[in-house]
Chains A and B, each alone.
Chain A
Amino acid sequence: MSLPDDYLRYPRRRHGMDQDWYRWRPHFEQPAHPWPNGARLAVWICTSLEFFPLNPLGKPFKAPGSMVTAYPDLRHYTTRDYGNRVGAYRLLRLFGELGLRTSFAVNSAVAERYPQLIADLRGDGHEVVAHGVDMDRLHHGGLDATAEGLLVDECLAVLRQAGAGPVHGWLSPARCESPRTAALLAARGLEYFCDFVNDELPYEFDTGAGTLLAMPHSHELSDRQVLVEYRHSEAEYAEQVRDQFRRLLAESGPYGRRILSLPLTPYVVGLPYRFGMLRELLSDLRREPGVWFATGAELAQAWRAVPP
């Protein structure tokens, strides 16, 4: 099959990006500001609390972590639910022992079903980041604006009802967006979102209906990506986090404030055989000077207080 003539037309072949959402910004050419209190490296732990329905529609695709077998896939349903019952509490205890302030990206279905979990993590001073309704309610171009807006509204309303506190940030389920997701978030007063993985520092994102701060939320260093998708061992995962930590700390000398984004998944890293590794890893990182364990909202606020 041959191609039409316009296959060789390039209307967006121009300086900068091929979309109007954000500006081209070489990473190492920004002013070398420190974080508050002279910290050089911020560690942002963000734990996902996700609900995977037993009867997913899978539209436009099944989110990673979704059901696999024929219905009823009790194996995967309960394996994921383990994260919200056991793994999350293991993580909360560890964060408490180490005095770490962190973020939790929460599906509103988790808040609706397990309000005690929200109360417990809020009681420990952690931040709730809105993470959509559930892992089968993806934001995608097949939804009209009204339907997608209702998804955002439902998520925010349920989180607030469950005592999630002020919600400043958003992570889309499966990082899946429609062309208008960012605009819908900005219109509802959210301050930052975490779906784009193109940077290690925040940047201003023009949604067309206001600005959001795009926050770096790692894909390649997430526990799920490294341990489940890449099938690396616990020791290899920890080594990569330590390597990233050391590298960013070294770069913070000449280049200023850095962020180590550490996404955690309670059904992955909250398993007993992995937990000792995580405890050792976070304990070691906690001892390093010049490091600030912060929530996403704190990082967004500090960034906007001293923009590049």
Chain B
Amino acid sequence: MKRDPGLYDFWPYRDRPPIRWPGDARVAFWVAPNIEYYELDPPPNPHRQPWPRPYPDVLGYSHRDYGNRVGHYRMMEAMDRCGVRGSVSLSVAMCQHHPELVRDGVERGWEFFSHGIYNTRYSYGMDEAQERAIIEDSIRTVREATGQTIAGWLAPALTHTERTMDLLAEYGILYTCDLFQDDQPQPVKVASGRLISMPYSLEINDVIAYGSCLATPRAYGEMIRRQFDTLYEEGASSGTVMCIPLHAYLVGHPHRIGPFEEALRYITSHPGVWVTTAREIAEHYYAHCYDEALADIARRQPGAA
């Protein structure tokens, strides 16, 4: 095991080559609905239990199912009303279980990227062939269901191996949402090809806000506004990225969706906000920022000429 993941170099948040978003927007804003399938009885993984309670964990399982059955539609309509397309972190088996939900997104021009096959199949302990198999399955399944070639990756239940990033780059994945070291995209060091880290967030994530920070629905709305205010201010000199990761089984409740939608409208009603998808952010970054960032990072490393 390594002491440092070795995926990026120190690159202080000062005097970086400025990022210019399309239309000179200050913030590239994207929303990541996690559309997940949690199995009632997945095969065991020795590194992680799927459910806190013994089989069948009726409470945990049915709570997640609520998201697909009920909450999703409230979340989707709130996004529609604010003109936000989702960049979906998808348990790709949803293409089989609930293709209706996937089609709803396709009709809206939403992006789909992979969040693994199921959110109850963990990458911990996978050998290389197995990890390749879930990437290939993801590419094939999403292509068949949506016509899209996945551009991004958020590991299933945030479970990784040491080779995950190298494999993503090898398969032509453009960005990973698994790294939380920054508020701007940046190159990830991989064995071959290219990969960037896309700012996602475990702080503005509804799971963390409601479940760990115990935020009320209105407090969560406030967190979102304040997160945006800072990134908007800083984005005047160099473009920032703000992501709101969502789970319909939480934000989609009748007592939560209203304050969330108000916060979403707060952001989208500002001028200078590029309301976009993760793929579009990544494509812009590769076209206009990637090479310059790489050179700047190299220039700043100890011992660089």
Cβ of A114 under 8 Å from chain B:
no
Which residues of chain A in 1-16 are interfacial with respect to chain B, using CB atoms and an 8 Å cutoff?
Answer: 1-4, 6-10, 12-16
Structural contact, A7 and B121, CB atoms closer than 8 A: yes
Structural contact, A24 and B98, CB atoms closer than 8 A: yes
Structural contact, A3 and B62, CB atoms closer than 8 A: no
Structural contact, A7 and B58, CB atoms closer than 8 A: no
Cβ of B66 under 8 Å from chain A:
yes
Q: How far is the CA of A251 from the CA of B78 in the complex (A)?
A: 14
User: When each residue 247-281 of chain B gets 1 if its CB lies under 8 Å from chain A and 0 otherwise, what string results?
Assistant: 00010011111110000000000000000000000
Cβ of B237 under 8 Å from chain A:
no
Partner of A219, one of B54, B63, B101: B63
Contacts of B117 in A (CB 8 A): 8, 10, 13
Structural contact, B46 and A1, CB atoms closer than 8 A: yes
Stretch of B125-133, B143-151, B199-207, B295-303 that contacts chain A: B125-133
Cβ of A90 under 8 Å from chain B:
no
Q: How far is the CA of A9 from the CA of B130 in the complex (A)?
A: 11
- Check A14/B257 contact, CB under 8 A, given A6-B43, A140-B54: no
Shortest CB distance A112–B (Å):
26
- Check A14/B58 contact, CB under 8 A, given A1-B47, A176-B53, A247-B255: no
Contacts of B70 in A (CB 8 A): 27, 198-200
Cβ of A298 under 8 Å from chain B:
no
Structural contact, B258 and A243, CB atoms closer than 8 A: yes
Structural contact, A198 and B69, CB atoms closer than 8 A: yes
Q: How far is the CA of A7 from the CA of B97 in the complex (A)?
A: 19
Q: How far is the CA of A175 from the CA of B216 in the complex (A)?
A: 24
Cβ of B214 under 8 Å from chain A:
yes
Shortest CB distance A232–B (Å):
5
Cβ of A141 under 8 Å from chain B:
yes
Partner of A15, one of B66, B96, B118: B96
Structural contact, A3 and B97, CB atoms closer than 8 A: no
Structural contact, B99 and A179, CB atoms closer than 8 A: no
Shortest CB distance B103–A (Å):
12
Shortest CB distance B131–A (Å):
10
Structural contact, B258 and A7, CB atoms closer than 8 A: no
Q: Which residue of A lies closest to B95 (CB)?
A: A13
- Check A18/B58 contact, CB under 8 A, given A7-B130, A244-B253: no
- Check A28/B214 contact, CB under 8 A, given A16-B97, A244-B253: no
Structural contact, B214 and A243, CB atoms closer than 8 A: no
Q: How far is the CA of A251 from the CA of B253 in the complex (A)?
A: 13
- Check A198/B66 contact, CB under 8 A, given A17-B97, A141-B55: yes
Q: Which residue of A lies closest to B65 (CB)?
A: A198
Cβ of A240 under 8 Å from chain B:
yes
Shortest CB distance B216–A (Å):
5
Structural contact, B56 and A199, CB atoms closer than 8 A: no
Contacts of B59 in A (CB 8 A): 175-176, 195, 197, 219
Shortest CB distance B159–A (Å):
11
Interface size class, chain A: 35 or more
Shortest CB distance A167–B (Å):
21
Structural contact, B130 and A14, CB atoms closer than 8 A: no
Structural contact, B55 and A10, CB atoms closer than 8 A: no
Contacts of B214 in A (CB 8 A): 230-232
Q: Which residue of B lies closest to A59 (CB)?
A: B54
Prevailing SS type, chain A contact patch: loop
User: When each residue 38-66 of chain B gets 1 if its CB lies under 8 Å from chain A and 0 otherwise, what string results?
Assistant: 01110101110000011110110011011
Structural contact, A197 and B66, CB atoms closer than 8 A: yes
Contacts of A26 in B (CB 8 A): 69, 73, 100-101
Cβ of A120 under 8 Å from chain B:
no
Structural contact, B69 and A24, CB atoms closer than 8 A: yes
Contacts of A27 in B (CB 8 A): 69-70, 73
Partner of B126, one of A3, A25, A230, A239: A3
Structural contact, B62 and A244, CB atoms closer than 8 A: no
- Check A248/B66 contact, CB under 8 A, given A7-B45, A14-B97, A18-B39: no
Cβ of A221 under 8 Å from chain B:
yes
- Check A2/B127 contact, CB under 8 A, given A19-B40, A221-B255: yes
Q: How far is the CA of A244 from the CA of B259 in the complex (A)?
A: 11
Shortest CB distance B215–A (Å):
8
Contacts of A141 in B (CB 8 A): 54-56
Structural contact, B63 and A14, CB atoms closer than 8 A: no
Q: How far is the CA of A230 from the CA of B250 in the complex (A)?
A: 13
Structural contact, B217 and A243, CB atoms closer than 8 A: yes
Cβ of B134 under 8 Å from chain A:
yes
15 contacts between A and B (CB under 8 A): A1-B47, A6-B43, A7-B43, A8-B133, A9-B43, A10-B118, A19-B40, A175-B59, A179-B55, A198-B65, A220-B63, A220-B253, A230-B210, A230-B214, A243-B217
B binding-site residues for A, Cβ under 8 Å: 37, 39-41, 43, 45-47, 53-56, 58-59, 62-63, 65-66, 69-70, 73, 93, 96-101, 117-118, 121, 125-127, 130, 133-134, 210, 214, 216-218, 250, 253-259
A2-B126, A195-B59, A198-B63 given; 11 more Cβ-contact pairs under 8 Å: A10-B117, A19-B40, A24-B97, A26-B69, A199-B70, A219-B63, A220-B255, A230-B214, A243-B258, A244-B253, A248-B254
A binding-site residues for B, Cβ under 8 Å: 1-4, 6-10, 12-19, 24-28, 60-61, 140-142, 172, 175-179, 195-200, 219-221, 230-232, 236, 239-241, 243-244, 247-248, 251
Which 4 A-B residue pairings sit nearest by Cβ, starting from the closest?
A244-B255, A198-B65, A247-B254, A198-B62
